[in-house]
Each structure stands twice: as structure tokens, then as C-alpha cells.
Structure 1
């Protein structure tokens, strides 16, 4: 687990050797009823992962409400889901999927190959809003073979095709619910949506007609708590059974000082925390300026921020836990003198930059550091804090920004830098060629050097400032089992969770 262990040790060492008192009432009540009460900091604007990239949507719906043909497990491996098995022909272009039988949507509509075909065609349509539509640009034809057999023909082979089909945005949806899934999602999963009280909570209930193994916890309630301090307060009062995304450890001292019915669990995510730069900005279009910004960012100082946890340092858009990782963390060592020298060579007038900061605490902390660090090389930065929906609209969609701090939580996403319309506005024919070769290569031994080339190219071009992996720090009730320690993708699989008797 590539977490800064010294920080974790520092946090745990502060925990008291004895506890002041114990309060079980609310949690015992939840266990007795077979309920689970969790919290998420950011409330999503919609609940349909097929039209919105927000990770909170994925955490609520993935393998809970919605399911895909395949799924990704905690070890980042592809497993069967709505497709119980598949075959690939020798060319690597023709995939035949056999669906699970007796699968019903929550409205009691039976799943068929025709419905799957419609869902996939909607995902890849030219007017699709699906955040990962470009991952399936090689789908040439989708054919219904029989009621439970589907065939997909690719224009070129793709070593990530089965993995991509298991991502939270590639879930299968019925055409009848397309228009309402944003506010009242209907899927095939082990839980049914029951209520969304805006600004307060979302509730789910176990699907007793589920085609697979029935969930052991009947009722799920997910609160929207806007601040970490509020989350800790609710934990201290026994109102929550867990929280999976704690990035500020200072709040935990008071919690563990009064309770012993919670445990701290640390793991990894696939989220790369970056300082993204808009290459459409004339100043940031300069390679020398981007390299200077990289050299001006002191990652160690950010990592040493009190009560703040970071994951493993990175030097490109790739997780150290993945195969073919290339260590590029020393490509731009912190050096203010060299940074100023590069700015001088750039010959570009220095103008103030606007940094759009989304709500997550890591973004707030890091944005302040960026502002202070770039000031030292003569670049003025104005921070604008926005809501998550504003960030999606302004940065992700309209590209109306100069800098932003964000965690890209999607695994295996080197391809985003090859997209012409992506919000970085990075354009490189050489990089596109690397990704093109990678997409057409199935052999893992041949893919590895291409993956390393892609990482090196992003580093050489100083496309963004690559900071750290986003850690996963969870606080859970000691009797709860089945939650993921690591998050290779954003997910909370409620059907795998249970109360230990």
C-alpha cells in the first residue's frame, strides 16, 4: 500500500492508550435492523453515471443500482456481471457475450440482448453525454444473436475493452428509464432506489428479486455532509456506520478519544491528484512555462501539511500500483532558481492566472499551496472556489479556466490526453500515435513499453503537474465487514457488506 506511512504512523501514535467512554446505541440499533448509514461529502447533481462523470454518482450507483456487462473488483480485475461469460475470436475484434438469465430491472422488465444493444448504442452515439464515450470509438457493430447472446465487432483491437465495459459509466440501462434515471434511477442491481431528499440524504432498499446473491443489509441511507468536521461529529454521536474518504486526519483525534467502536482503515485509490493546466492559455501553451511551474511546486511541503494525508508521489498520470509504472518523480525537482530561469527563456509575458478550486478538501489545501508557490516565481494566482456542478460546467465542459486542482479517479485513463476536446486542450500527434498503438495491442508484454512511452511523453511535455495518488482513508464501525480497503475505481459495493454477529 503506497501511502505515506510516516503520516499514518504519526496520526495513529496520537491515539490515546485508554478511552474515556463508549457509545453504541445508534450503531447497535442500525445493526439490529439490518441497516447501514453512511455519509458522502459531495451531493451529486444527478444519479445517472451514463451522463455525468461525478465520482459520487459512481459510489452510490455502481453495482448497487446499475450494473454493466462486466465489473471491476477490489483488485482492479475484470469479472463477470450481467454477462456471465464471453469469447473473443483470434483477430481480437469479435466479442460474443452470453447474458445472465432471469435478470430483471427494478421495474420488472426482463433484461435481453436487445436492451443491452440499445444501451450500448446510446452510450456510443454521436450526441451521447456519456463521460467515457471515447473509450468505445472502436465499436463498429453491435449484433443481437439471441435473447441472451450479444456480439460486438470492433474496428480495431483494444486491450482495455473488457475493462472499460466494467467501468461505472458503462452500465446497462433500459430505454424506458433513460429520461428519468437522473432523479429516479432504475437498474438491475441488488439495491433499488427509494428516496432522494435534496441536501440531506439518498436511501436504497435491498432488491429481493435480484438475479444474483441477495444483499445481507436491507436498508442503505447515505447522508450528504458538507464538511469533514460535520462527518466526524456524526461519527462521534454514533449516527454513522462509516465514512470512506477521510483526507484530513486532524479531525480524528477527538473521535478516537471518545469511541472505540470505530476502526481506521487505510488503502489506495487509482486517483491521480494533479494541477491541471489549460493549454489554450497563451502563457500555459509554452513548454518552458509549464516546466517552470512544475519546478516551482514543492511536493514535500504539500505532503507535510499538518493533518493532511497524501498518497504516493507521482511524476505522470499513472498509478505506482499498476503494471508498467515508470518512476518519473524526479523529472522536475523543486528548484525556484531553475524555474525562474525557464520563465525568462520562455519569452512569454507573465499574466495572472485563475485557479478554479472544486469543493474537496484536498483541492482546497493544495490550491493555497499553488498560489503561494507560484507567487515566488512571479506568477500571480487568483483562487475561485466553486461547487462541483460549477466545476463540471466551467472547467470540464466549457474549459473556462487557467489552472485547477483535481483527482482523476478513473483507472487506466491515459487515453484522455489523446482526446481533442478534453479540458486540458493538450494536442500532441506523437502522443496520439502512442495511444493508437496501445489501443491496438493486446499482448501485455508489448503493451508495457507503450504504457511507459505514454507516461514519459506526458512528463516531457509537462502537460500538468502530477502530484500524488489520492489515498483512501476509511473510518468504519468495527463490526462492519465487506467494504473495500482499496478503491481501484470509485465504488462502495453495499451488497458485499454485512454486519458481523
Structure 2
């Protein structure tokens, strides 16, 4: 009997100790599986969600408060004309294949991103670099063709991570960076697992040893996974109708913040009849942003009138330019000689803001004589058919890259907007010598896009993050899409 009591006591003690021990793993739910894991070549935001700050790092780091702080660069100076930046690189940094980080790697990464065959989303930014001096292995000096006071922000984006030259070509499937985590496994269609890399310079400060990103694009499955304890956190929770359920459950935390997501009804500007300004304006007047925000994202959105969100520097509120007015929409279609009903295609990718929002938009367009035939597609189909081949009429998508208004200066971009007037404005924006000039130019850029009704600008995509109440330091806001695993820990 004494032996039994002693055995039970020991078992209880071990169980208590095991329960008290903090977890060192985390399972993150994300809606979309990335097409690859190289953020310097792919457009999908889910790439950065997994690898940015975790596998790959850049010279600077953007925090959830929009701050820019040192990362691979320990310090920098900016020339008086804002054309030349001198970065002192952090010492003792190695890539996960054992190669040391030097200024030559930075030079290679910048030139690769600017190359003619580059698919980097920020290609135009890297092409604005006139030269990169990498003479000193510990110092790198990019010189820009024009003043670039906002370059430090651009260099913190996932498009600007520094890659190791010998591994660059295979980073899509086998990413090699200098960050705190290495790829352990990519189970296609299911999950990506990252393991803490012991060779990281600050490995002792990293509490999470294993992180698994599970792909769950169904909101009911997201809810079930959280309630069952199979998922520890969903940084961008899709089941917004279930938020109240989690707010009242002390096992969970609900964190609501803003993102850089500009949600738009994108228009193929070169496809008839959308090459007529009046038709594009009719689309804008037909959509009720308030009803769309309530119906598509449960009120978690802020109306926008151009390609910026309210938290951006230089934001101009242009939501009144196309206030909901179905009668004006009908009149514009008539003036453009459009015979109604006008049959168009509306392609919707998987996110709920697109699928739910698409149903609402289609109903509103029908009220003015535009019959939108909905086609639901997977992310890979959207990237190939819409983004690459431009084979679409309309689509709903949220552009989450910060301050990415420069995409409208590219006439080959998927909405095929071709305006020399806008390109002239954007040239002034990129050459702005200070914040005041930048704000003035970006204000003009927003107004030009609204006047040309390039797309129907809908709302800022806000985010609700759900997590186990014991998990600490999840980002509230998302100026960029990233899950900073090294910042996480368990209470």
C-alpha cells in the first residue's frame, strides 16, 4: 500500500511538473497555402506570413506599430540629398547553409530583384538604385537615382530579404535564409513546419522551438480547430461571424487591428466596355461600401476611395467621390452606349471577404443592369488566370503591401491601367526629398486614380486575430503580413 501511495504521489508530481512546463511549440492557422516560399519572387501574401522574419531577414525590420528598426543592418546613415544610404552590417551573421553574410550578398539580392527577368513585386524600387557599393564586406552603400527618403521602409518588406547567392534559385521550395527558423517540412496541401535553428545569432532568446502553419481556408474548420485546441492562433481569422463566441470565452484572446489591405473590385481596364471611363465610374457608383463592409467582413473595415488606407502617410479621404448612387450608375452606362443587361464575369479567390463580398457586389451591380457571373477559383488559378494572363473582367482582391500605389505606374500590371499622367505624378513621389513633398505627391496620385476610376476602391481590410489566451506578443496591426515567431512565447 505504501508503495502504491508513493507511486501515485510521484505520478501526480510528474503530471504537475509537465503541466507547469511552458510549451515550446505553436500551431498557426492561415487561410491560404503559398505557391512557394521565396518572397522575392512570389506575389502571394501568405509567403511572407510564413517565412518573413522567420527564415529570411532584411536590412531593416517593420514592426506592428509601423516603426522601422535595424535587423541585418545594425546601423545606417542617410546622405543629405537622401540618395545614398550607408549600412553597417551586423557581425557574426550566417546563412543556414553556413555561408557568412557580407555586403556582396546584399548587392546580389538587390541586383537580382532589379533584373529584367525579376518577378519581385518591388522590382521598380530596386531598379531605382543606380549602384550598390560592396567594397567593404561589412558595409553596403546603395545609391539611388533620385532621393529615396522612404527607402528604409521598402527595405523592411519581405521583397527585400537578403538571400544567399548559391541557394537563391531553389528558395521557392527549399528556403535558405539567416533567420531564427529553418524549413523542416512542407506537406503540400496541409502544412509547413519550421524548426528553430540553433545556428541563429540570438537562438537563446527564441522560446518557440517548433512552429506549424496549417492551411485552413474554411471558417467553420478554423473555429473547430481553435475550440478543439488543434490550433493555437489564427492571426487573420476568417470566421468573423464567430467573434462574439470567442470574446466571451476566457480561454481565448481576440485582438483587432488594422492592416495595409486595400480591398478593391479590380477592373480589367483594357477589356471592353471597361476601357470607357464612364463604365468604370458606373461600377463605382453602383457599390454601397457600408453595406459591403457589414455583409462581407462583419463591420471590420474602413471605407477607402483610392489605393491607400487611413493609417498611411498622406492618405486623402476620397470616399465621397463615388458615393452610392444607382441612378447615376444607370445614367453613366446609358451615356456610354451600354446595352443592359451587361453580362460580365466576376472571379473570386478563396478569402471570405472576396467570396462573401462578391455575392453582395453582384447583387448591387444587378440593380443597375450589370449581370455578374461569379466564378470561384483557388489561389493558384487566380494567380495564373487573373494576375499573370489578365484573363478576367472583374475580381475582388485585397492588396496588402504597404504604400504600393506604384503598381499603377506599370501598364502591364493585371488591371492594365496605362496613364502617363499618373506615371509623371509617381515620378515626383519617388523623388520626394522630404515627407511634406511625399505627402503632396501621394495625395495627387490618389486623386488621379480616383478620377480615372481605375478600380472600385472598397475598404481597408482590418484583421481579427484569435489565439489561446496564454500565447503572448502576437501582432495587433499588420502593416505587413508576417508572423514573428521569435517574439512569441507561452505564459
State the TM-score, normalizing by the size of structure 1: 0.91
Deviation of 1:90 after TM superposition, in Å, equals: 2.4
Deviation of 1:253 after TM superposition, in Å, equals: 5.1
The answer to whether 1:62 aligns with 2:33 is: no
Quick one: which of 104, 108, 111 aligns to 2:94?
A: 104
The answer to whether the 8 A contact 2:81-2:433 is kept is no
- Cα 1:253–1:307 change in 2 (3 A) is farther
Give the aligned partner of residue 492 of structure 1.
483
The answer to whether the 8 A contact 2:263-2:397 is kept is yes
Deviations 1:441-490 (A, max 9, x none): 12112222212111111111111111111111011111111110000111
- Cα 1:152–1:304 change in 2 (3 A) is closer
Deviations 1:4-41 (A, max 9, x none): xxxxxxxxxxxxxxxxxxxxx9xx97973411111111
The answer to whether 1:373 aligns with 2:364 is: yes
The answer to whether 1:385 aligns with 2:376 is: yes
- Cα 1:249–1:30 change in 2 (3 A) is farther
The answer to whether 1:218 aligns with 2:216 is: no
Q: Give the whole-Å Cα distance in 1 for the aligned partners of 2:289 and 2:415.
A: 21
Deviations 1:377-434 (A, max 9, x none): 1112111111111111111111111101000000111111111211111111111111
Give the aligned partner of residue 157 of structure 1.
147
The answer to whether the 8 A contact 1:68-1:81 is kept is yes
Give the aligned partner of residue 395 of structure 1.
386
Give the aligned partner of residue 457 of structure 1.
448
Give the aligned partner of residue 227 of structure 2.
236
Unaligned runs of at least 5 residues, structure 2: 1-14
Deviations 1:130-176 (A, max 9, x none): 12211222111122121111121222222322211111111111111
Q: CA RMSD in A?
A: 1.8
Give the aligned partner of residue 345 of structure 2.
354
Quick one: which of 107, 111, 115 aligns to 1:121?
A: 111
**What does residue range 27-176 of structure 1 map to in structure 2 within 5 Å?**
32-176=22-166
Give the aligned partner of residue 198 of structure 2.
208
Secondary structure in 1 matching 2:387: helix
Deviation of 1:92 after TM superposition, in Å, equals: 2.2
Q: Give the whole-Å Cα distance in 2 for the aligned partners of 1:29 and 1:233.
A: 24
Q: Give the whole-Å Cα distance in 1 for the aligned partners of 2:215 and 2:60.
A: 29
Give the aligned partner of residue 21 of structure 1.
none
The answer to whether 1:290 aligns with 2:274 is: no
Deviation of 1:247 after TM superposition, in Å, equals: 3.9
State the TM-score, normalizing by the size of structure 2: 0.93
Give the aligned partner of residue 342 of structure 1.
332
Give the aligned partner of residue 440 of structure 1.
431
Deviation of 1:496 after TM superposition, in Å, equals: 0.8
Give the aligned partner of residue 12 of structure 1.
none
Q: Give the whole-Å Cα distance in 2 for the aligned partners of 1:269 and 1:420.
A: 26
Q: Give the whole-Å Cα distance in 2 for the aligned partners of 1:32 and 1:322.
A: 38
Give the aligned partner of residue 478 of structure 1.
469
Quick one: which of 145, 148, 167 aligns to 1:177?
A: 167
The answer to whether 1:324 aligns with 2:317 is: no
Give the aligned partner of residue 272 of structure 1.
262
- Cα 1:238–1:31 change in 2 (3 A) is farther
Q: Give the whole-Å Cα distance in 2 for the aligned partners of 1:72 and 1:247.
A: 24
Secondary structure in 2 matching 1:401: coil
Q: Give the whole-Å Cα distance in 1 for the aligned partners of 2:280 and 2:296.
A: 28
The answer to whether the 8 A contact 2:285-2:325 is kept is yes
Secondary structure in 1 matching 2:460: strand
The answer to whether the 8 A contact 2:37-2:172 is kept is yes
Deviation of 1:309 after TM superposition, in Å, equals: 3.8
Q: Give the whole-Å Cα distance in 1 for the aligned partners of 2:380 and 2:157.
A: 22
Deviation of 1:314 after TM superposition, in Å, equals: 0.8
Deviation of 1:49 after TM superposition, in Å, equals: 0.7
Deviations 1:235-258 (A, max 9, x none): 11111111111243223455567x
Secondary structure in 2 matching 1:119: helix
Deviation of 1:72 after TM superposition, in Å, equals: 1.0
Moved more, 473-482 or 211-220: 211-220
- Count, aligned residues: 473
- Cα 1:467–1:234 change in 2 (3 A) is same
Deviation of 1:499 after TM superposition, in Å, equals: 1.3
